[in-house]
Amino acid sequence: MNLDPQNGLDLILALLPETVLSVWAMALLLFVGWRHEDPRTLRRAGWLALVGLAAAAAAAAWLWIAGARGSGIPTSVAIDGFRWAVDLIVLIGAGLSVLLSIDYLEREAIRIPEFYVLILFATVGMMLLAGGEDLFVLFLGLELMSVSVYVLAGIDRRHAVSAEAALKYFLLGCFASAFLLYGIAMLYGATGTTKLTLIGFQIDSLHLTGHPMVLGGLALVLVGFGFKIAAVPFHMWAPDVYDGSPTPVTALMAASVKAAAFAALIRVLLRAVPALHAAWEPVIWWLAAVTMIVGNLVALAQKSLKRMLAYSSIAHAGYLLTALVSGRVAGASAFLFYLLFYTLTTVGAFAVIAFKGRDGERAVTTEDLAGLGESHPWVALLMTVCMLSLLGFPGTAGFIGKWYILTAATGAGYNVLAAILVLASVVSAGYYLPVIMAMYMKPQLHGEVHAGVVVPRAVRGALVAVAVALLVFGVWPSRLLETARSGARTFLPEQAVPISPGMTMPSH
């Protein structure tokens, strides 16, 4: 199905997932404003938010299955399989975070139904960020996402650490946005356009690969994205913000927010500046290497499970950067596959912490899970599957994802970076495996230590599905690998967009 955004109906279809979710979010805002005093509104708003996310996912899936792709002059929003794939990953992460929060907010007495409206608006921003074919659309999506998440991080107004998390995220996020916007301005000044495909065309045709404004603009854009993906040394905000935010918000930030930011970064690198690969390749290489090393080593020293997973998330940003460094389609497909299961695994791990903890879960340590396998075997099993998948243990989807990234890296000649990834994964066993050992090999501190672990039926069903997916696709990944490849074929040369009869954009 070819969609020409110059045609009004085609444009509506191209933006159908975002439109559905935006309209639903505004309707939900009216609902919670009208029924704000009703104590049942909080729970109802959560279920309505899930319906909106499911409708947007259905729209994205329909467009992907129908083979929707753009035709005509490059526009502001990408219309391709890569966008639909990332949209679905983002929506899955947001849906699981909403499902986790329905009982969590009641338990923690955070009776603010606008919480779900903010998640929906943040998700719209993520989808625009991931699908932006224009730097300004990309920036608008980034800001819509960021402003919503700033508020979500500080929504628990009873605790000073929540306000501190929101303030840190807001201030550092403003600096990062300023870097990104200045980089966009420099790229526009050098090329005369903000559309990614046309920027690549201008750099090729005008021989701008060594132009200082292009290189400076690219450097500033990378700084802005480095903050959003929490790559070292732009990660300083992540541990404190993840630790101080309500756990469902932490799961959203570690999964969907990171997925959208990475998708936007790969689109910029492979669409706008593939000709500058020699310039950005060493930067991404070092970012990946340092992020993997620092994230894993610092995670070893953490006692709080929430902070440990925060540094684990930083380390996984390094793994995902390893998939991008080659600038090839193989890396893009490895990125998509890994991103899906990283999202599922991260939300699952934070869900267990949310079940176990109280008052923000900042005090939950590995020792607090002692004996969980005896009192709550299925919760312990879920945590075990998540820890093994994050580690990259054979038989889990995390192993296949890391193997796929290693194949892409070694196939492009980055053997040293692949070796660093393997060694970093070995180091990560030092903080993933003790969690499993505590659950199964240590006795409970006392008989009622896990009495407060209560998992609602709907959440239990979703998390069982997550665990099953991690195991099934760790053994039979071929179908999903092919799906990831089809999404990454967006960046093949034959996907170039005709801009006039007989003329095509250069291959990227």
Model confidence pLDDT, tens digit, residues 404-459: 899 888 988 889 999 999 999 999 999 999 999 988 888 776 666 676 677 788 88
CB 175 within 8 A of CB 190: no
Give φ, ψ of 67 to 5 degrees: 70, 35
Single-letter amino acid code for the residue at 89: I
CA distances from 299 to 169, 360, 470 (A): 20, 19, 23
Q: Which residues contact 320 (CB under 8 A, 6 or more apart)?
A: 229, 262, 335, 338, 339, 342, 405
Single-letter amino acid code for the residue at 379: V
The string of pLDDT tens digits covering residues 18-50 is 999 999 999 999 998 887 777 788 889 999 999
Encoding tokens for residue 124?
């719209």
Give φ, ψ of 3 to 5 degrees: -120, 125
CB 499 within 8 A of CB 71: no
Q: How many CB atoms lie within 10 A of CB 298?
A: 20
- What pLDDT was estimated at residue 447? 61
3-state secondary structure 207-259: CCCCCHHHHHHHHHHHHHHHHHCCCCCCCCHHHHHHHHCCHHHHHHHHHHHHH
For residue 500, list its beta bridge partners.
503
CB 319 within 8 A of CB 261: no
State the first-to-last Cα distance of the chain, in angstroms, to the nearest integer.
23
- What pLDDT was estimated at residue 178? 92
Encoding tokens for residue 492?
């093949």
**How far is the C-alpha of 116 from the C-alpha of 122, rounded, in Å?**
10
Determine the structural domain holding residue 131 and report its residue range: 2-504
- Of 28-42, 111-125, 355-369, the range with the lowest mean pLDDT is 355-369
Mean pLDDT along residues 6-13: 77
The string of pLDDT tens digits covering residues 231-261 is 988 888 888 898 888 889 999 999 999 999 9
Say whether pLDDT at 495 is over 80: no
The string of pLDDT tens digits covering residues 278-331 is 889 999 999 999 999 999 999 998 888 889 999 999 999 999 999 888 777 788
Element (H, E) at 358: none
CB 272 within 8 A of CB 196: yes
- 3 state SS of 89: helix
Say whether pLDDT at 9 is over 60: yes
**How far is the C-alpha of 23 from the C-alpha of 56, rounded, in Å?**
11
User: pLDDT class for 505, splitting at 50, 70, 90?
Assistant: very low
Give φ, ψ of 457 to 5 degrees: -60, -45
**How far is the C-alpha of 110 from the C-alpha of 107, rounded, in Å?**
8
Number of independent structural domains in the chain: 1
**How far is the C-alpha of 24 from the C-alpha of 32, rounded, in Å?**
12
**How far is the C-alpha of 263 from the C-alpha of 255, rounded, in Å?**
12
- What pLDDT was estimated at residue 29? 93
**C-alpha gyration radius of the chain:** 22
Sort 8 into a burial class: Cβ within 10 Å, 0-12 / 13-18 / 19+.
exposed
Half-sphere CA count of 393, side-chain side, radius 13 A: 16
- 3 state SS of 34: helix
**How far is the C-alpha of 316 from the C-alpha of 415, rounded, in Å?**
18
- Of 55-59, 92-96, 373-377, 420-424, the range with the lowest mean pLDDT is 373-377
DSSP 272: I
